[in-house]
Amino acid sequence: MMTTVLASVATMPGVFAALGGVLPVASVNWHSVLFLLFAAVACACAVAVVLAENVVRMAFYLVLSLASTAGLFFLAGAEFVGAMQLMIYVGGTLVLLVFGVMLTAQAPFVAIKTSSGDRLLAGMVGAALLAVLLQAAFRVEPWRRPAMADVAAPAATPIGMALLGVRVDEPAAGAPATAVRSGYLLPFEIVSVHLLVVLVGAAYLARAKRRRTPRAIDVAASSVGPVVTARQAARSSASALVSGGGR
Amino acid sequence: MSHLTGGLPFAAVPLFAGLLSSPVGVAHYLVVGAILFTAGVVCMALKRNALGVLMGIELVLNGANVNFVAFSSPYLRGEGAASLGLDGQIIALFVILLAAAEAAVALAITLNFYNNHATVDIDRAEDLKG
């Protein structure tokens, strides 16, 4: 066992040398390699979300897809957006969704089947939409990669200053130098109030109510129980007795 | 590229080697965003579970975010090409925040529907049908 492991480890440089013969390591662009890795995981897990029948597995694939998209954001130079994607989307929204799955995952709802005709129709519509979008994506002319010295150091400072209403980042290339650039203080305030309202509204909508009328799930459960029918019969006979006594 | 393959019989090797050695452009990101968007739209149309529809919405918003970040990226921008700059990243941030808010409200509505109708099958939500 140990000898086979050692032998395989010993042959690893040979494998790398053979790979290097096919593809010189010096010419490999590791940015592209990581991009392909994250893009493959994101797209495969997005398709797996569509194809999965079980809602718990759909949530798991969605977590993987969103986390890989955060990796794509890091590779595109948007470190703060990638970190927020991991913290808010993967850490917050998906946990919320998983709680929803757990609260509603009764046996008949874990896997709700879709008819094959609907699947076929959705596949055709999706293929047509994807064809249109890919055609538009390849119309965008390839942008060249600038020298690394031109790229600003990664920092969250420009985003924070822009959210405070002050722009310290470089103006976009091609924009006139004298253009007044607005900050994002007003949208920031609007979003903060919006989040507060949404928090209150969600807590109001999802609160545990004390109902006078029985829930539909209780009615469905009690309509088949023989004990309850016996109790109802006893109650009706008792009311008959009372009405008979009053007569 | 022929000297790289070294007479290998695989036709995919030159394409794969070209993908690995050439820099990533904005079109690569747009392709990923298109695939995520299409998967989300199909997921929204196909799933009968209300939470599955919610996951489709998340995928659609995520695909749009990929496009925003790609158009704002300093690493994918060429000389003289117009880009969104920082605006794209901030729009992506706002999309993430609004998606969180939307998921909270939609989940509350789903739980309310589940409490009242004892199901999450959206085909059974026909109380408002005329």
Residue B12 domain flag: no
Domain range for B46: 25-124
Q: Nearest Cβ partner of A32 from B20, B98, B121?
A: B20
User: What's the rounded Cα separation, in Å, for the pair A117 and A125?
Assistant: 12
Interface of A with B in 226-245 (CB under 8 A): none
Mean pLDDT of chain A: 75
- Identify which has the larger pLDDT, A138 or A14: A138
How many Å lie between the alpha carbon of B124 and the closest alpha carbon of chain A?
12
Q: List B49's β-bridge partners, or say none.
A: B121
Report A:115-154 residues touching B (Cβ under 8 A).
118-119, 122-123, 125-126, 129-130, 133-134, 136-138, 140, 142-146, 150-152
Q: Are A77 and B84 in contact (CB under 8 A)?
A: no
Q: Does residue A64 sit at the B interface (CB-CB below 8 Å)?
A: no
In a domain, B19, yes or no: no
Distance of alpha carbon A200 from alpha carbon B105, whole angstroms: 10
- In this prediction, residue A6 has a pLDDT band, given cuts at 50, 70 and 90, of very low
> Is A43 within 8 Å of A66 (Cβ atoms)?
no
Q: Is residue B5 part of a domain?
A: no
Average pLDDT over residues A91-118: 82
Q: What is this model's ipTM?
A: 0.83
The helix/strand/coil state of B58 is helix
Asked, for residue B56, whether it belongs to a domain, the answer is: yes
**Residue B7 belongs to a domain:** no
Nearest C-alpha of chain B: how many angstroms from A227? 22
Whether residue B106 lies inside any domain: the answer is yes
CATH number at residue B35: 1.10.287.3510
Q: How confident is the model at residue B32 (pLDDT cuts 50, 70, 90)?
A: very high
pTM greater than the 0.80 cutoff: no
Number of structural domains (chain B) is 1
Instruction: Look at residue B17 and tell me if it is in a domain.
Output: no
Nearest to B32 among A24, A43, A145 (CB): A43
Determine the distance from the C-alpha atom of residue B8 to the mean position of all C-alpha atoms in its chain, rounded to a whole number: 36
Mutation target to probe the A interface, by most A beta carbons within 10 A, among B93, B94, B113 is B93
Does residue B8 sit within a domain? no
pLDDT value of residue A245: 44
